[in-house]
Amino acid sequence: MRVGQNPAKSVKEVARPKRITVAVLNYIPFMSGFFAETFDVLKLCLGSIWENTDLPFDLMVFDNASCPEVREYLVQKQKEGKIQFLMLSDTNLGKGGAWNIMLAAAPGEVIAYTDNDCYFFPGWLSNSLKLLETYPNVGMVTSRPIANDNDYNSSTVAWAQSDSEATIEFGRFLQWEDFRSFVGSLGVTEEEARQRYNVLEDAVLTYKGVPAYLGAIHYQFLAYKRVLQQFLPLDMDRPMGQVQLLDGKVNDAGYLRLMTAAPYMQNMSNQVPDWVSQQARQAPVKSTEKKSRFQLKNLRVIKWPLMRLYDWIFKTYWKEG
């Protein structure tokens, strides 16, 4: 038998989520080897969101079975009111599995998704949202221009060539420094970057006076939740390596894939980049002092076999983690 009345019945209103949910996917299983600096990188990612997001938002973090130190940090940030929605998985569900949960659960009408190694610059959200709200039938908007795989852009090209209000120009419009800064974060050498840049062809669109680059990337994008719902659940049987499935589904469904005309974010990968100031680092768990550009360990004859060995160790002992 119930005793008394539930005090919640006297509450006349409840909190409503923000229109935009910024959703971060995190995975740091341990803090050594490849992951030695990724805790610092995660802190920089979250710090840039808190500092440089210029529209109201809720922050959602999905942690894909990280080590205890990382999870404790995330729980503490939620207690401080910095993270509105925190999901902690006790096993690594892979990117597809995490997407299926977090993209379905995000309460916002607009989802701004990012991996945990993205640094955002001031104005990133408003400038990305402008493309999402100006162009018709948008599927994905990425907050910087990069060299893109046009296999997933056919629907955007077809729309631009058929809409009288739209223009599209093909050529080399991406500035060298914007190109180099991004591919360099992926481990591409200066020489390889130059070779790729010399054969680069990208495309610039204009619609209602708003410029955009052709394409988008799955590791950081804005999308309407109602659009993403059409593609869930995503069937991925590997932790990584199948993420372009989403790019293909968005394109095949006839949606546009766009990038902002200026870079409003930068990939950090698994190391704190040199351009990040010491003040921006939020109490790193280990020293991340700037390293000399030349190090013996970076010679290809040494680095290549060691990285292959590390990959084998990781796959052998951590693939279930």
pLDDT band at 238 (very low <50, low <70, confident <90, very high): low
Q: List, in order, residues 6 or more apart from 258 with CB less than 8 Å away.
A: 131, 135, 138, 140, 141, 142, 156, 205, 212, 213, 214, 215, 216
Q: Report the first-to-last Cα separation within the chain, whole angstroms.
A: 46
Asked if 56 and 81 count as a contact pair (C-beta separation under 8 A), the reply is: no
User: What CATH architecture applies to the domain 20-267?
Assistant: Alpha-Beta Complex (3.90)
Return the C-alpha torsion angle 134, 112, 142, 165, nearest 10.
-10
Task: Give this prediction's pTM.
Answer: 0.82
pLDDT band at 300 (very low <50, low <70, confident <90, very high): low
Please state the domain extents for the chain.
20-267
Place of tokens 């569900």: 93
Altogether, the residues listed in the chain come to a count of 321
- 176-223 tens-digit pLDDT: 888 888 887 777 888 888 888 888 889 999 999 999 999 999 999 999
Q: In whole angstroms, give the CA distance from residue 123 to residue 126.
A: 6
pLDDT band at 11 (very low <50, low <70, confident <90, very high): low
Burial of 80 per CB tally in 10 Å (0-12, 13-18, 19+): exposed
Q: What is the pLDDT of residue 47?
A: 96
- pLDDT over threshold 50, residue 283: no
- 100-134 tens-digit pLDDT: 999 999 999 999 999 999 999 999 999 999 999 99
